[in-house]
A and B are shown apart, each in its own frame.
Chain A
Amino acid sequence: MQRRRIQRAASVGLAAAMASLVVAACSSSGGNGSSSSSSGSGSSSSALSGTLNASGSTFQLPFQQAAIQAYKSIQPGMTINYGGGGSGKGRADLASGVVQFAGSDSPIPSDEIATFKGKTVLYFPVFLGPITMSYNLSGVSNLKLTPAVIANIFQGKIKTWNDSAIKAINPGVKLPSTPITLAVRSDSSGTTANFSLFLMTAEPKVWKLGSSSTINWPSSAHAGNGNGGVAQVVKSTPGAIGYVDYADAKASGLSFASVQNSSGQYVAPSPASASAAGTTVTLKPDLTFVAAWQSSPSAYPITYQSWDLVYEKQSSANTAKLLKAYIGYLLGDGQKLLTTLGYAPLPSNIDSKAKAQLSKIGS
């Protein structure tokens, strides 16, 4: 687990270093070097100074770290701190005014709305990401799964790999009689919330465990802390299957299954197939949406999303300016950092709406 953290830290550092090189190259080749003109680059002509504090989604953490690092060369006078802690903590911190923005993988749940005391919170979608079905089966490299099979595996109804339901969708694959070991999260998590939301959306009749940041898994499940912890369980347990975000699954060298989407296609998780899922989402006026179980034939079905939450009305004009600049950067040039980190950039239909919403931040 520790080794995984170090690997991740190293890869984030590397990506950040590369990104800052790119940014430096862009800015040295003339003022209008960057092609995508976000409102972030618009305000970058004037030097900003001040501090933004943020916390929340650990799913966003590697991206925020890389973006903060890269943004230093654009606005050296600005200090941005992003502490993880989980989406719930981020929202609680925003509600109590400790932070200026919060990262969250889910919209504000109904029982939490009161904590924001009637103030308007704006949702800025930041990126999409696939959740992989990572497995450990020697000799099997191209497993296919359907939502119904996944639901039955994670409810403990399908117990061995050579179960007829798995065999039926994997003709020609030699499946062993190894018992299936579930790898799940020990901590409450936005990944768990979105994975269970996918199962509930795709297979409401089969999936009985509900959707929440913590699920009451069958007691035989092995729990690991964080995506890295689950990846570690999968890696060290023959016959294991777990839900792991793409970046961590990739970093741990796990094999992952192709999953059938709502148009019947088996699609492998990748930044491209996750972005494809974003093109057909139903955007609500507040820019919340569900990226899971989309209809595009090339969409990966277990895709999730993350938002940055910001108050519409800021206490000072400077804070509003800082937020506009930094979030503008995340939606603009910052999107280029995503693919190397294992995330999917926002498709233009979502990105343009999010950028348009920036002007709403005021004081």
Chain B
Amino acid sequence: MSAVTQADQAAPGSVPAGGLIGHRGLADRSFQWLALAAGLLVLVILVLIAVSTTQQAAPWFSAEGWGIFGTVWDPAANKFGATPFIYGTAITGAIALIMSVPVSVAIALLLTEVVPFRRARPIVYVIDLLAVVPSVVWGLWGILVFAPWIQHIYAHIGSAVDGIPVLGSLFGPPTSGASFFTAGIILAFMITPIVTSLSREVIATVPTVDREGAYALGATRWEMIRGVVWPHSQGGVVGAVLLGLGRAIGETIAAALVIGSSPSITSHLFATGYNMPAVIANQFGEATGVFKAGLFGLGVLLFAFTIIVNVIARWAVERSARRMRGA
């Protein structure tokens, strides 16, 4: 609306007022309707997806009740508890964030604060290239190249920490190269580009005046980053991280290939596990009855989780943007 009024205000100077205005009004109005319809269409499709998947999942909800959060998923015994998959999704997401966020933020700071723009450009291209690698390629590389290689490292770590109270139960000897940890690392690779580029954009919005003010007061570069850049971009970076998390928990095929496909709840990070999207992809082909409804139900839960994460992320970004405008 504000764009329309601005255009009207600008018009008298350039275009003589006359018969054109009626036409333009019509075009504006129809454009408005078109835009509104497009926006609503997306919303309607989203609601339809939510309603129809929930409907398909209904037999699971009614058969299991609160049992949907049970710890056993065993189609042969007609037990369909989702907890192993929720657990696996949370663990792999956490590993991905712990590995990816420090690196991503460091790269973003490097690109905005340390390297001059002209030289930063090729680095930005390379990082963005990581984002266009199809996830199935990540998965195949993960299972055929990365997992066999890292299994030896797991074995070394495993035998080194064997018997130590906490470390021993987290990093005990592996059973296979495919595990929670491998999936977490692959996911970390996959979300690094998005977290990096969003953080970089947020950090780039810090006003030059503020930076120079800090330098003028005798701050070192590190002090400037800590005192000016970080408070300014904190919210935006949190948003970027959450958007990365949204991608990590929804990632299907790469996770399906490297996570090991075993519905287990264990503190042991080198053990084989499962996450929600992977089990849907793997088991859908032959599922029937409540089993199939359960897979739809996992989809509904996953849909809800990603929406929650994304809404929080948007909110964090918005809030920091508002604060920055206020500053």
Determine whether the beta carbon of B260 is less than 8 Å from that of A189.
Answer: no
Q: How large is the interface on B (under 10, 10 to 19, 20 to 34, 35 or more residues)?
A: 20 to 34
- Complex contact B284–A223 (CB within 8 A): no
Let me know if A1 and B285 touch, CB within 8 A. no
The reply to whether the CB of A86 lies closer than 8 angstroms to some CB of chain B is: yes
Instruction: Please report which residues of chain B, range 255-299, place their CB below 8 angstroms from some CB of chain A when the two chains form the complex.
Output: 256-257, 260-264, 266, 271-272, 282-292
Main secondary structure of the interface of A (DSSP, over half): loop
A222 touching B260, Cβ below 8 Å: yes
Contact pattern, A 74-94, Cβ under 8 Å of B = 1, otherwise 0 = 000000000001111101000
| CB 8 Å contact bits of A213-227 with B (1 = contact, 0 = none) | 111110111110100
B76 touches A214 (CB 8 A): yes
The verdict on A223 contacting B288 (CB below 8 Å), with A187-B282, A213-B75 known, is no
In the assembled complex, the Cα of A219 lies from the Cα of B84 at a distance in Å of 12
Q: Mark B70-88, 1 if CB is under 8 A from A, else 0.
A: 0011111100000000000
Q: A212-B76, A215-B76 are in contact. Are A223 and B283 (CB under 8 A)?
A: no
A187 CA to B263 CA in the complex, in Å?
13
Whether B73 pairs with A216 at a CB distance below 8 angstroms is yes
Task: Let me know if B237 is at the binding interface, CB within 8 A.
Answer: no
What B residues does A89 contact at CB under 8 A? 284-286
When the two chains form their complex, are residues B266 and A186 in contact, meaning their CB atoms are under 8 A apart? no
The 0/1 profile, CB within 8 Å of A marked 1, for residues 172-206 of chain B is: 00011010000000000000000000000000000
Q: Contact check, A85 vs B285: say whether CB atoms are below 8 A apart.
A: yes
Instruction: Give Cα A316–Cα B144 distance, bound, in whole angstroms.
Output: 49
In the complex, chain B residues whose CB is within 8 Å of the CB of A223: 178, 260-262, 272
The complex places the Cα of A210 from the Cα of B76 at a distance, in Å, of 5
What's the tally of chain A residues with a CB closer than 8 Å to chain B?
A: 35
Please state if A187 and B76 are interface contacts (CB–CB under 8 Å): no
Nearest B residue (CB) for A193: B286
Q: Does B148 contact A (CB under 8 A)?
A: yes
Residues on B close to A: CB < 8 A?
72-77, 140, 143-144, 148, 175-176, 178, 256-257, 260-264, 266, 271-272, 282-292
Other CB < 8 Å A-B pairs besides A213-B286, A223-B178, A236-B148, 8 of them? A88-B288, A209-B76, A210-B76, A215-B75, A216-B75, A219-B175, A222-B178, A225-B256
Q: List 12 A-B contacts (CB under 8 A).
A: A88-B287, A88-B288, A89-B284, A109-B288, A111-B290, A187-B282, A188-B287, A209-B76, A210-B74, A216-B74, A222-B175, A222-B178
